Structure 1
């Protein structure tokens, strides 16, 4: 029995375990989802019924308040004193006072009334009874609530005894406003443009809105609203303002479209909410309650957490049980599957090795090119590549291969297989592909023609190769240089093409890392014999010995550029020869100047085992070497000069009394030229040597003048001056006084000090 490849890779035991576990998980998820959905619906229904009961109660209270306002208006109309204000243009003062007293009594007995207006269009006054500051007989222009006059002018727009939510100012000069519901009771019989009389009752909005607005502190932090008979969405908080916006418009349309009460889930202020609403009441008002969905489902969420915890416990127990069960089921099958996997792996590895060996021997010219037997062997190994059709070769050379080998160690072959896989995946989209591990730093890519793309399209080919370079760099952090050949279609040319692409890959030396090299562009016949520039080598040796880095690098660059018109082997020979020349120069510097380099010359330019891969790499190595040579030479010169200066100072201190002491005398003693000694001394100390000699002699003359009784002539002779007058001039030039005056001044100072003592 042959097991499927997916079962081998996925491991049968894991599949059994996952199958049993999946059944448990699906059962738990389905049952939990059903329970959660049912609990959710129950919670929504309960909250809706609670909200609907509260909203209906609010509706009854508003209707009851409307009935109270209507009854009050009828009583005011029937009151004799108040009726005189409505029907007489100029009632007497007694009637006015009595009527205002009646209005005040109504305000006192009904605390929910904020104010009462009595309006007679023929009167000069509006009669106002209010708990606020403004009250009494007021001219229309003095009335703070000017909006009521506009409402009376447009009385046709308002239904009598229907509450009108609005805000009114407390006083004329005050910006503070209070929320009220206004009830209009007017007489407009026989008139079309104005009313005969009107009673306006303003009821405190808080009496009606006790259950409208935000409900902070309750079980659910929801809000209630009113949709009035004019289709406005009103809030019950401090001021009754019309709600607007897309959400409000959508909400109103959806509610108005339903003639009965109900609920739905929607968005309010961007949050998911439960929206409950009543059917229209006698005022044609509808009451809306918006409750955050998270508050509605809070208890359900608690049940969900408990359900998840129980499900997790059941799942854990199920996993243990499924593990034990699947283990028992798997053991006999697993042993058989393991054995078959081992056999298949051995066969696959052996087949891969055989495929690689056949293709490698073919391109290396070790395989017989008899077409029929070769085709039969390739078919047996599953190689579909056809060398009788058009094909190309592309050789991938790993950049900085020595560093790559040192870093990857035993994993180098794994990385090369990864490169081969990347090449196959990317190139097989356009070509028929075979990849070959050519050992060392090379991976050979065989590209055959296919119907997917035109085979002679060089732009497409280079695009694919660039893509391979980028993928290898991104996924493996390895740079590769790729050389490719032109098209061929003969099996006998396979080995020749490989030699061409291998030779082309060596032009990485000129092209640099991660370059793309076409074999036909770089393999050119040698036009002339290479002649080694002996004179430039001599100048190079002199420049290096003198520490002239720039000149030496210029000579090296010039010598390397001369090899570009020749083969890569010429360039490599030159680099190897330059390395030996520089190594010899370094050994000479070590012997002659006792210079100690940080690394031995052999290690600084070791090219025998691993040659330079690019000219830039070689130039960098040469530059580093020459910079160190310059630093060591400069350091050596600096140390030699310091020793020379110390020796000169010692000679001056010992021979300052010798009249022959001079620059020429010191140079003669040192076996150096006077000009060299003078230049080096001036360069190091910034002083002329003769000035230093005179300065030392002047210091010694001061010591002799102060500490001895020698005459001035004797002192001049002792410090190296044969002519006393010359000593006089030098002393006065140096100290500003003559030697005699200096000694006399010292004697006077000593005598004064003795007298004081």
Structure 2
């Protein structure tokens, strides 16, 4: 620390600005520490109390949310049981195999919920009293006397309660004698009528909840706080209780004290046996029950004293550290200020202020003087730029009768023509809409400005270039002043390609460039500009990202080319659309547009042929009455102006593909005979292990993708999944009714690999084939035993 002070030792030449810095930092440190100290010491106990209460609430919320989720799951199970076809009154009134299915379905619900010990369903108006559970089917008197004997509840009371409730009801935990007294456990019973909230429910779902299972959810909370837990129903009766240091009788007495206290708030205080407790209650989110905890308050206040001492030491340390940091920061900021003052003084030829002055005053005066100078230069540059734009626009607009007025502008704008020949180059962004959407207006101007600079720099290799942004267009015009060259077109094309590469590599957009004819007089620049525009018009035939030189385009033997395309191509396109063959329609459109591009002498001729193709599509679409939307979409192509023929091809292919798919789907939806033939074929040949998607499709003369989509439309499953479903149904039937081995069954349903069959069976049914057979056999025997 002493080394630091030696480095930043006090200097007598520091100005008052340094001490202002230092005192400002010290003041900030004192304010922060004072506010923090008052907040800590004044509200320390209150904060700790709130922490205790928040901890209790948060912990109880975790318990409540966990328990509510379980009860929501039981409600969901009850609703699923009501919709399960294997658990309808009709199925439950039958016997034999239907009962096996009913028990199996209940067993699935139990396996899916670890909160449940067992569950069952009873029909309220059945001729015989039976209880269907996940363990089997029982006569009511046998179940209540031998399997599940309540300490304070019997068969008649259960039947009466089940028939009289119209909303969910839970019975508090009580002692249960299991399996003829083999063991004794405590259970809560949750009854859910089907349907709920009606006057005459036809059945009741019974959930058996082991108290130990509930306590397992609560025990982590109780072990941490050494408190008590109560789950209370609407009538203020404890359903489930748990406590680390209290037994059942003590918990009952504790609850009588809590209930008598008439808890009015979420968090309450209570004194029990001369000890302070915090009582927290939370209502359930799914029913009218209440969750209550009792926590000793003093357990959270033990570390208060030691924490106060720690805070005092931290406060003193922070004060000392704040003073040191204040000195260091003040010295660093002041040194930078002195360096800045020295720099300004050296540039201005002045002597920097000494320690008696204020550095800020000196800098303010210097900056004002600098700003005045820069403002004057900016105005001059802006005026020069405007003069240059005016001059170049006048030349491109062909105002030859006013050239004498422009002479004075050449010198003022910095435009100097030193060579004998002139050409105009126009640069246009191919996807102008995406460019405008991807960049803001200011960013677009900046990018165009950079392109102008790069273009002028590249043209400087052979002459001079002067660029201007065509504000009403989407491109840039460049006036080139070049000497007479033998390979002029080759040189200019090379420069144009470099410009395209630069723009695409940095801005990810492509440029098309049109170049006009060479001229020797300024009043001929207008003609060169028009030539460049005409050259760009050839993008419709040549495509995007082209360098289009007017003299090369118009020297071709245009007369040797004819417009149009062979008539047989139209016939192929119309035939493909009528048959709904999208791929053939796409090929036909590509062939027609390729022929147009090859045979058209000018872009105008190509556009005329393309409009003829569009009218052909409109006439074809008119053959279907419900294809008006497609007609409107095609008609829009007549009004839209497409820069390239490739873009027009994309739009035509998109419309024709959608039209073909629509026509094909309409044909498919009415092909019921094909559906019946395919399903009958699968039913007859499912055991054939050589059966594949390809040979089934070949059998019916269609493509694999078509038959897959067709079967899915008719059955809801793709063809191969439908075949797998049929095979699994056959396998289940053989497992239940035959003694074939798993390998034999796999071979009989068309599987070559037995392990593959076992994996697919388990994935579909949830158990292996052997286990499925075992369960089928055990359930059948159990049902028969219960009936006896």
TM-score range, shorter chain: 0.3 to 0.5
The structure with higher relative contact order (CA 8 Å, sep 6+) is 2
TM-score of the superposed pair, with normalisation by structure 1: 0.39
Larger CA Rg, structure 1 vs 2: 1
TM-score of the superposed pair, with normalisation by structure 2: 0.38
